[in-house]
A = this chain, B = another copy of it.
Amino acid sequence: MAEQAFVTLATNDNYAKGAMVLARSLRNHHTTRKLVVLTGPQVADPCQSVLKKLYDEVRVVDLLDSGDTAHLAMMKRPDLGVTFTKLHCWTLTHYSKCVFMDADTLVVSNIDELFDREELSAAPDPGWPDCFNTGVFVFRPSLETYDKLLQYSAEHGSFDGGDQGVLNGFFSSWSMTDISKHLPFIYNLSSIAIYTYLPAFKQYGGNAKVIHFLGQTKPWSLTFDPEARKIRGGSQDAEASHSSFVLDWWTLYSREVLPLLQEHYGDQPFHSG
């Protein structure tokens, strides 16, 4: 049986930091699967080196020198740049099955059981729950599917301008067909859900397996106070729950990622976060 892998994407140095924390969180929870990161040519060399330490495979994806379908699709829809890069995960055909995870996710429990699921399995999106959220999904690499996806995006575009619109358009029967393809929400717990329905979070959030820092504010864009070991900002009830996950992210980042970055950046200018 071919191997299986967790796959993420980081096209710049900030998302690369996310990918580094994600890799550490997967390893700390003892995954037995391979770790793969797709990066873009903009990611700085020292970051690439750290990614190489943390991932089994670092694949630089440059759509400009990709095969015909990819190139043509991108010419037709230049607005879908990062989206096309994400779709690239379907080309990883040396793996039999993969779980894609956004670089802004954090694993808080072993999730290897996700590989029992079939393509396309994903959790509902809070907001419009008949759409799945593309921050965590199970898929089967296949060049045939990859080509179809590119053609679909070039023809139909994306209703939300990103990969979520494309993938929901393509896998359009998700909400109606097979309950086993509905991942429990705790595998993609968007931090936004904590605010919108706090009682449900209090009831079910204790079983969280993956936290997704969806939206504008990413952990790496917040300020962390290493002395006080806390995030600069308020301390409302919901905000505190959210912050506790951000704090987990920062703890992992400063303990297990920052030292590697400092090592690889050496004397070069480098911003810790």
Contacts and interface: CB of A to CB of B under 8 A. Distances in A.
A-B complex: 7 closest residue pairs judged by Cβ atoms = A128-B200, A129-B129, A124-B129, A127-B197, A160-B199, A127-B196, A159-B203
Contacts of A182: 175-176, 179
A229 to B, nearest CB: 29
Interface in A172-215: 175-179, 182, 184-186, 192-193, 196-197, 199-204
A57 interface: no
Interface of A: 123-131, 159-161, 165, 175-179, 182, 184-186, 192-193, 196-197, 199-204
A123 B124 CA distance: 12
Contacts of A178: 179
A185 B130 contact: yes
A201 B130 CA distance: 11
A212 to B, nearest CB: 13
A159 B128 contact: no
Contacts of A179: 176-179, 182
Nearest to A160: B199
Contacts of A184: 130, 175-176
Contact of A199 (B161, B197, B201): B161
Contacts of A129: 123-126, 129, 185
A122 to B, nearest CB: 11
A241 to B, nearest CB: 13
Given A177-B179, A179-B179, A124 B127 contact: no
A184 B123 CA distance: 15
B197 A159 contact: no
Given A128-B204, A159-B199, 6 more contacts: A128-B201, A159-B200, A159-B202, A160-B197, A176-B184, A179-B179
Contacts of A177: 179
Contacts of A196: 126-128, 192, 196
Nearest to A189: B128
Contact of A185 (B123, B128, B197, B202): B128
18 contacts: A123-B129, A124-B124, A125-B200, A126-B127, A126-B128, A128-B200, A131-B197, A131-B200, A159-B199, A159-B200, A160-B197, A160-B199, A160-B200, A160-B203, A161-B199, A176-B179, A179-B179, A192-B196
